[in-house]
Structure 1
Amino acid sequence: MLGLVFGALRARRVQALVMLALAAMTVVAAGAAARAAGTAGQDAARARVAAATVAERTLHVRGTVAPGDRPEDVLRRMGNLVHVPVDERAGGLRLAGDLLGPAGARRQSAELRSAERLCANLTLKQGRCVNADGEVVLPEELARLLGAGVGAKLVHETGLTATPVPLEVVGIFAPADPAGWFWAGQDGVAAYTTAPTVAAAGATVTATYDAVLEPEAFDDAAELRTVLDRLRAARLEVTSGAAALADAVAADRRSVRRGIGLAEAQILLFGGLAVAVAAAYAAQERRGDAARLAVRGLPRWRIRAATAGQSLVPLALGSIWSPRLFAAGVVIVAAADWSATRGGVTELMRDVRPRRPLAAATAEVCALGLAAAALFQLVAAPAADVRRDTGFGLAQVAPLLVAAGLGVLGTRLLLAAAGLYGRQALAAGRLSGALAGLTLGRRRTAFRIIPLLAAATCVLALAAQDWQGGDSARAERARVEMGADRVLRVAPVARERLLAAVRAADPGGREAMAVVVTGASAASPVVAVDAARLRAVAGVDGAALHPSAPAPLRFTGTDLALRASGDGNRVRFLLAAEGTGEQAVAEFGPLSPRAEPLTAVVPACDRGCRVEAVEADGALKAPVELRELSAGGATVIAGDVFADPARWRTTVAQASAGIQIVQTGGVLRIGDAQARTRRPVDSRLYVIDAPVPLPALAAGGAADNDRHDQPAASVFGASVPLAPRPAALVPRGGGSGIVVDLEYAARIAAVAVGTVPSAERPEVWLAPGAGDAVIGRLRAAGLDITGSDSVAAATDRADRLAPAVAALGDVAGAGIVLLLAAVAAFVVAAVDRRDRDAETAALRRQGVPHGLLARVERRAALAPVLLAVVVGVVSAVLLRALAPPPVRAFTDSWPVTPPAIQPLALLLAGLAALVVFGAVALLRAGRR
């Protein structure tokens, strides 16, 4: 028996090799998909961690240290409880209270802190870093609010029972990387000193442990949550986005497994279908073998073993690593051979096979029923259920079922139309059309390959659409999250200086735009932009962000004169140097009851200054009256400007106003209205040179304020009322950010009392097409560019995340499915060749020209291919119109705007299927 089988295999080598190739391709491709799922999931998890925000990768632990306790013991206990891999860490102490400026002139709420690795994470603007007890370094904004420079003497007070701590300012600094992990844990206003200095107050302090976690820490979400729960159980305050990131990593792995698992399931299912088609047609080819064995008197089981063995041997060799595929193949081959060889000897010897319309109709009805059921499930199930990882049901194999069902309908329509056309052409004497139509109408068996080819085309078209849609969505998200085509990171610099430098480097306003981002790690970042350039650089209309406003009160000159009256008080004008934003103060006084001219010298205004605010010093026993301010003999603020209510305002920050004003008769009268509170009050009067409320583009509920009806946001540390315009997405802020005008925002929040120094990230956004020359001009203008990012780089990072990996796996799996279908089509063409050769020879003997027969053969070979490709593409359109892709473009809630139906992807997928299947069809037609 084995000799007979191997002899038949040698005689039909092509069929044996095809069966071997089908089984091997299916097993190898499915195995590769299973292995790739694990590797790709791990790579996607690493990419997710690398692309995570600082808040998601850091861990902040806080604990109370009572007087008499050893802070180092508390810090050691915190570190011992953190049983996850840590990349970098920094411990420290915090003491709440107030800082008193030089001679106690100013008071500002600020913590006194110590922090490991402080000096490595700051940029000194003046002086040096702390290296001894009693020394302190201040952030620039806090130093300005206190009026303290290097060498100033400060005092930190906290409560009645604590000892005041004397301090000496040795340095003024800016964060080296405001968005880095170190400063993510240093929220709030603080001065930095040594740990013994903080402990010297003898008060209860807070021990802090800040760490950035290793990527391996996010591999096990349950273990990470256990660590966080252990810390909380030890009565420690824990703040971290690490648990959410670990959940996202786990979701990424599930997404990859699901996406590639779907591809693996499709490969296995389609491989089984291809094996079934190949086995069925090979069994028809072996009908003569069965007849000859039956004539020799062999039992029926031996006949079927001899014929089925010709498919089972190559199937066993090809599926040696997949017992399940081999077991399914045994059933498929046995059923095929039983169907082909169950007749008697007379029936088996006939060249024309008997038609069994009931069996064919039953199979077609089943295919149509399954397609209808798959469509119903897709329509009835919500999108979340389609994407849910609940195994592989009808929704998961819908592409195969729907395309196969439509292929059955298409085949029936084509056969009927071809037969009708052939008969009409024959009656009209059109020989070419008659032969083509009648040939198509007679090949009913060969046309049963159409559902298989249509299903393969549908799978490829769906995968191509999902990939292109996801790619478009990732590129669109990258553009929104970047804000511009290229983003340059700039070393800490004053906002006004940043604006002036960018405007000098790009005077036309078409290539570069100054940007300052605050709250980058928060849920609703505030992005301050040079609104006049927003459309040219980011493609967003920013005209509404910069409406007209009263002109700033500018002047040039160092010698100022003020006409004012009062009862011994002093008056200070707060000024900002043009182009640099450097703060300057012009102080006049003491005032006399008569409006005598007073003078002040401000060297910083030799190139121009802008008046920001005015304040009267000390308790006002009598009102202070302001009449005129001049510089170098030229009037800066005339009496009518002082008396104009449209040019002056009190605070917009969350602090009490400490003054009363009366504006009349060319005089601005300031009276005392000190509130009964120890909190700082704002007794300044600000120049109105920016609109209040501040216009803003706000996405989502970013500008909502729970405490009152007026929308507001923290802009550069000050709570600023907003006039928001709703937007679905805003540059850099996405669906939850706020965009304001940088120039106006800087004016409003510049010098407000109660302003909390904020972590700001200055940037320069470049428009598409901006060359490197503008970067050189930015450097020449004084900006220190520390790094860059781009939409292309952000898109590349997104392409390494789980959804993109899963979509790419689907495309690869669809390519394998296409090849399996092509091999199955080759089998059908090979089996059909004998009958076609006989028909061709008979027609040639009757005098039909060779060229005519060649054209008829090509048309007959290409017709099922064309029909299958069209049905597959239509099925893909129908499926995506009814249901979303099984793997979403993003694992979070980011809105996906690109349409699910992608015409270009459909066209390319259809062309690829047409080329592959057409090549196989024309190859067999040419050989005949």
Structure 2
Amino acid sequence: QGRWLLAAARDRLGASAVIAVESDRLARVTGWDGPDARRLAGLLRPQTSAPVRLSAATAVLDLVLERAEAAAPIRLGLVTDAGAAFIASATPPGVAGTHRVTFSVPQCTAGCRLAYLGFASSPDGVRITGVGQLGPDATLIDAAMLAAPGRWRPGFTTSPGELTVLPSEAGLSAHYEPSDPRSRSTDLRVLVADAPVPLPVIAAGPARIAQTDEVRALPALTAGFRPVRVTASAVSLPGAGDDGFLVDHEYADRLSDASGGDALPEVWARADTPSQVLALLRDRLPVTGEETVGGRAAQMMRAGPGQAAQVRLAATGLGVLLAAAGLAVAALAEHRGRLGELRDLRRQGLSASAAAGVARRSYAGLVAGGVATGALLAVVASIALSRVGVPVFTDGWSATRIPVLPHPLAAFAAVLAATLVMAGVGLSASRRLAADLRREAS
């Protein structure tokens, strides 16, 4: 039901992550609550034509050979429901005319998807008039589907413009004209158009990425590249942080080749996934490693920038303690002078209660002014550092975009802690001064 788990596959383009995800589960499983998160995830999966499916041990291809020399091996590219890709091949009789070619596909008894029609040589002179299955008998592709231009497209094994798909009411044919006649492909494919091309992606980064068309191809579950179109951008993306791309896993799989490329399969799980679900997952899949958000954060904190952040925090605390010590030394040094000033004011008629109040409040202004000045300097320094960029993680990874400016709550907590420490020192000095005044008055 997609409540707890999500299938993903991670590839890389330089330092950027390219992740294929089950987009319909993305917001629910990851807890992605960014602006328009569900709308952005929906952009990865636009409406497209349904896949062509067969569930039998024998597939049939009805065709017309316009000339005998056009007879050459024809391949069906198939993918089982378990995700295993394979090729079934057969050769029509070397006689011009109408033929029915059968393909043995025992792997498809439990269900398969037809990915493409393949040709070992130029398909000129071959016209497909129908695709079906035997046992149970069914028509998989009828004349109307064969004539639909939006149902077919050239494969990615040839350069753009070399293979032209020609759907018509008479059947489906194709024309091959290599850009270099000395190098002719033996892997010509006519794809079933059941995924959008270019493949829609969401990019992490500024909005201009979706407007400049600077990203046109990415590795998506394939050893090569597939054409893509950046439909939207976000400040950060689940699993990719602030530098990466998300594509729909199923659509990328439909456009992939059998190799799968260098993508590493992953399963993402919610934090509240029941333990029995995780146990079942470990039992059914070979798990090579597990990683949690907390574990990744701890790992990054053990690395250089994480240790540096802790040193900076310790240095900040030490700075506050040094400031408090300085205030204590200053209060001790001027204690006798202030006591004398208040004693003189008492002789001139200042009441004892008023003198004690002055003593208690004598350091309040100093503490308030010092803390306010320190907070202002910290804000200015943070803004200056944010323009330069402070590295947070050694590999540039982040579950969310890492800001250099502190979170308002963290900044408030730091100011509060500094205020309490400084106020404690000031209050101690003020009480000592007030106590000495009362002692002399008595």
Matched, 1:778 2:271: no
Please list every run of 5 or more consecutive structure 1 residues that lacks an aligned counterpart in the other structure. 1-506
Kindly state the Cα deviation for residue 651 of structure 1 after the two structures are TM-superposed.
1.7
CA, structure 1 residues 875+611, in 2 after alignment: closer, same or farther (shift >3 Å)?
A: closer
Equivalent of 1:644, from 140, 145, 148?
A: 148
Shift in Å at residue 685 of structure 1? 1.5
Contact 2:132/2:141 (8 A) holds in 1 = yes
Shift in Å, 1:553: 0.6
SS at match of 1:563: strand
Corresponding residue for residue 572 of structure 1: 75
The 1:638/1:824 distance shift into structure 2, 3 A limit, reads: closer
Alignment match of 1:606 (pick from 106, 109, 129): 109
Match of 1:742 in 2: 249
Tell me by how many angstroms 1:560 deviates.
3.1
Deviation sequence 1:725-769 (CA, Å, 0-9, x none): 363555555565333222111111235xxxx77223111122344
- What is the CA–CA distance in structure 1 between the aligned matches of 2:261 and 2:169, rounded to whole Å? 41
- Residues 789, 831 of structure 1: alpha-carbon distance in 2 compared, 3 angstrom cutoff: same
Question: 829-838 vs 735-744, which deviates more?
Answer: 829-838
1:29-428 alignment, distance < 5 Å: none
Question: How much does 1:775 deviate?
Answer: 2.0
Q: State whether structure 2 residue 228 is matched by structure 1 residue 722.
A: yes
Q: Looking at CA atoms only, which structure, 1 or 2, has the larger radius of gyration?
A: 1
1:581 aligns with 2:84: yes
Q: Which of residues 12, 28, 37 in structure 2 aligns to 1:536?
A: 28
Give the AA of the match of 2:9: V
Give distance in 1, aligned partners of 2:124 and 2:378.
Answer: 83
Contact (CA 8 Å) 2:305, 2:391: kept in 1 or not? yes
Which one of 797, 801, 813 corresponds to residue 299 of structure 2?
797
> 8 Å contact 2:88–2:103 — kept in the other structure?
no
CA contact (8 A) 1:658 1:681 kept: no
State the 1:837 CA deviation: 4.9
One of 663, 680, 704 as aligned partner of 2:185 = 680
8 Å Cα contact 2:145/2:151 also seen in 1 = yes
- Would the aligned equivalents of 1:512 and 1:767 in 2 still touch at CA under 8 Å? yes
Identify the residue that residue 217 of structure 2 maps to in structure 1.
Answer: 712
Greater helix share, 1 or 2? 1
1:302-361 deviation line (CA, Å, top 9, x unaligned): xxxxxxxxxxxxxxxxxxxxxxxxxxxxxxxxxxxxxxxxxxxxxxxxxxxxxxxxxxxx
Q: Percent identity?
A: 28
| Contact preservation (8 Å) 1:829, 1:924 | yes
In the alignment, the residues of structure 1 paired with residue 104 and residue 383 of structure 2 have an alpha-carbon distance, to the nearest angstrom, of 73
Q: Which amino acid aligns with 1:720?
A: R
Q: Which string of whole-angstrom CA distances, capped at 9 and with x for unpartnered residues, describes residues 767-790 of structure 1? A: 34434443224235x322111123
Query: CA 1:857/1:544 → structure 2, altered by over 3 Å: closer, same or farther?
Result: same
How far the C-alpha of 1:866 sits from its partner, in A, is 2.8
**1:612-691 to 2 correspondences below 5 Å:** 612-616=115-119, 622-631=125-134, 632-655=136-159, 661-670=165-174, 676-678=181-183, 680-691=185-196
Residues in 1 aligned to 2:107 and 2:77: alpha-carbon distance in whole angstroms: 12
Q: Return the offset for 1:806.
A: 3.6
Find the aligned partners of 1:625 and 1:677 in 2 and give their Cα distance: 28
Cα distance in 2 between the residues matched to 1:679 and 1:730: 42
**Structure 2 partner of 1:312:** none
For 2:415 and 2:17, how far apart are their aligned partners in 1? 44
Q: Deviations over 1:358-399 (max 9, x none)?
A: xxxxxxxxxxxxxxxxxxxxxxxxxxxxxxxxxxxxxxxxxx
Find out whether 1:557 has 2:49 as its counterpart.
no
Are the aligned partners of 1:531 and 1:741 in contact in 2 as well (CA < 8 Å)?
A: yes
2:51 is paired with a residue whose SS is coil
1:666 Cα shift? 4.5
CA contact (8 A) 1:650 1:685 kept: yes
- Cα 1:598–1:810 change in 2 (3 A) is closer
Match of 2:44 in 1: 545
Displacement of 1:622:
4.1
Match of 1:766 among 269, 278, 282: 269
Question: 1:659, CA displacement in angstroms?
Answer: 5.7
CA distance in 2, matches of 1:685, 1:571: 11
Look up the SS of the partner of 1:515 in the other structure.
strand
Query: What residue in structure 2 maps to residue 904 of structure 1?
Result: 409
> Which residue of structure 2 lines up, in the alignment, with residue 512 of structure 1?
5
Deviation at 1:607, TM superposition (A): 1.0
Distance, in Å, in 2 between the alignment partners of 1:710 and 1:802 is 32
3-state secondary structure, aligned to 2:281: helix
Q: Counterpart amino acid of 1:680?
A: S
Q: Secondary structure at the residue paired with 2:323?
A: helix
Give the TM-score taking structure 2 as reference length.
0.76
The amino acid that maps onto 1:912 is A
Residues 585 and 602 of structure 1 are in contact (CA less than 8 Å); yes or no, is this contact kept in structure 2?
Answer: yes
Query: Which residue number in structure 1 is paired with residue 422 of structure 2?
Result: 917
Distance 1:906 1:684, change over 3 A: closer
- Paired letter, 1:551: A
Matched residue, 1:788: 290
Question: Aligned-pair distance for 1:911?
Answer: 2.8
Partner of 2:440: none
Q: Secondary structure at the match of 1:572?
A: strand
Q: 3-state DSSP class of the match of 1:749?
A: coil
Aligned Cα RMSD in Å?
A: 3.9
- 1:839-878 mapped onto 2 (5 Å cutoff): 853-878=355-380
Distance 1:510 1:921, change over 3 A: same
Matched positions, count: 410
Contact 2:152 2:191 in 1 (8 A): yes
Return the alpha-carbon distance in structure 1 between the equivalents of residues 204 and 121 of structure 2. Answer: 44
Q: Which residue of 1 is the match for residue 331 of structure 2? A: 829
Q: Judge conservation of contact 1:657–1:682 (CA < 8 Å) in 2.
A: no
Looking at structure 2, the residues matched to 710 and 849 of structure 1 have their Cα atoms a distance apart, in angstroms, of 79
In the TM superposition, what whole-angstrom CA distance separates every residue of 1:837-888 from its partner, at most 9, and x where no partner exists? Answer: 5666788899987666544432234343233323333343355456659982
Contact 1:626/1:669 (CA < 8 Å) preserved in 2?
Answer: no
| Distance apart, 1:569 and its partner CA | 4.4
Q: Which residue of 1 aligns with 2:439?
A: none
Change (3 A) 1:542 1:871: same
Contact kept? 2:78, 2:115, Cα under 8 Å: yes
Q: Deviations over 1:502-534 (max 9, x none)?
A: xxxxx1x243221112346x3444322222222
Residues 886 and 864 from structure 1, CA distance in 2 versus in 1: closer, same or farther, beyond 3 angstroms? farther
Deviations 1:799-831 (A, max 9, x none): 234444344334333433333333333333334
What is the aligned counterpart of 1:808 among 293, 299, 310? 310
Q: Distance in 1 between matches of 2:338 and 2:215?
A: 83
> 2:300, 2:393 within 8 Å by CA — same for their partners in 1?
no
Q: Contact 2:200/2:228 (CA < 8 Å) preserved in 1?
A: yes
1:573/1:523 CA distance change after superposition, 3 Å: same
Aligned equivalents of 1:917 and 1:849: distance in 2?
A: 29
Q: Call closer, same or farther: CA 1:655–1:897 in 2, change over 3 Å.
A: same
Aligned amino acid, residue 311 of structure 2: G
- TM, length-normalised to structure 1: 0.39
Question: CA separation of 1:588/1:635 partners in 2, compared to 1, >3 Å: closer, same or farther?
Answer: farther
- Paired residue type of 1:747: R
In structure 2, what residue type is equivalent to 1:512?
A: L
Q: Secondary structure at the match of 1:595?
A: strand
Deviations along 1:260-313, one digit per CA (max 9) or x if unpaired, are: xxxxxxxxxxxxxxxxxxxxxxxxxxxxxxxxxxxxxxxxxxxxxxxxxxxxxx
Contact 2:77 2:117 in 1 (8 A): yes
The one-character-per-residue Cα deviations of 1:137-183 (angstroms, maximum 9, x if unpaired) are xxxxxxxxxxxxxxxxxxxxxxxxxxxxxxxxxxxxxxxxxxxxxxx
Q: 1:683 to 1:658 in 2, by over 3 A?
A: farther
Aligned mates of 2:117, 2:388 — CA distance in 1:
63
Distance 1:806 1:619 in 2: 63
